[in-house]
Amino acid sequence: GFCFGVRRALEMMEEAACKQGPMASLGSIVHNRQVVEQLRRQGVEMITDPAEAEGRPVAITAHGVGREVMEEMRRRGIRVVDTTCPIVSRSQQWAKRLTEEGFAVIVFGDPNHREVRGVLGWTGGKGLAIPDEACLDSLPRDLPSRMAVLSQTTETGPRFASFVKRLLESHIDRVSELRVINTLCNATSSQQTAAQELARRVDLMIVIGGRDSANTRHLADVGRQEEVETYHVESATEIEPEWVNGRRSIGVTAG
């Protein structure tokens, strides 16, 4: 199900809507259409730009935002409900600190993911996101020799470790100092481990969650890596009868 950060954000947003009335969420709070619709009925409208606030309080989602977005909201006098996940906040603080110390900040993760964009927003344009270790071959030549590596919180431990190893092996001649900050979410890692153990005991895996959810996609990947037939669905209505007919054991998990 939802991780601690998302559950916390949902609770904070529902409480704020109850106490303060109609409000807005800067982006979707969670990659789950049913939950987004439920929040809309409670008076929470999703917006994509602070300019759309129209006098309402605005919630920052668990994914967080960059410094420029935060400063714009303050300039506009917007009442901010900050539901940024504490683990993501820690990543942002590290990105800011390491940039100020002169490190090139590299975030292992999806460059288009809101969490990653938000973390990079605290590097003053000096950080970069790399989604896969294969992309390290085209690492910009003008990066400082002091490098720091963070990870998108929903990444897997083995992938992050492999990425760091490849970075050092491929660019040892360019790296004078390397800092590795473990910004992985322990709860997410535990969920992935549980999914792996489940996949080893069943002959079909069904993973429930939004298709835009990085966490849910990683859970589905875990099943496939264990060579178990795996389906990623958003709701029970998507499950086809032929998927489950004749199966001895079925594993179900949610992101």
**pLDDT single digits (tens) 146-196:** 999 999 998 988 899 999 999 999 999 999 999 999 999 988 888 889 999
Segment 41-50 mean pLDDT = 94
Residue 236's domain comprises 186-254
Active site residues: 115
Mean pLDDT confidence for 20-45: 90
The tally of domains found in the chain comes to: 3
Same domain, 176 and 99: yes
Given a cut of 90, whether residue 56 has pLDDT beyond it is yes
104-128 mean pLDDT:
97
Residue 31 has pLDDT above 80, yes or no: no
Cα-based angle 78, 83, 87 (whole degrees, multiple of 5): 135
User: Starting from the edge strand earliest in sequence, which strands make up the sheet with 23-26, in order?
Assistant: 44-47, 23-26, 58-60, 80-82
Stated pTM of the model: 0.83
Final residue before a domain boundary, out of 128, 161, 180:
180
Could you say which of 33, 65, 84 is where a domain stops? 84
The CATH number of residue 41's host domain is: 3.40.50.11270
Q: What is the pLDDT of residue 1?
A: 67
Residues 195 and 250 in one domain: yes
Check whether residue 79 and residue 99 sit in a common domain: no
CATH of the domain at 143: 3.40.1010.20
What integer best gives the mean pLDDT of the chain? 94
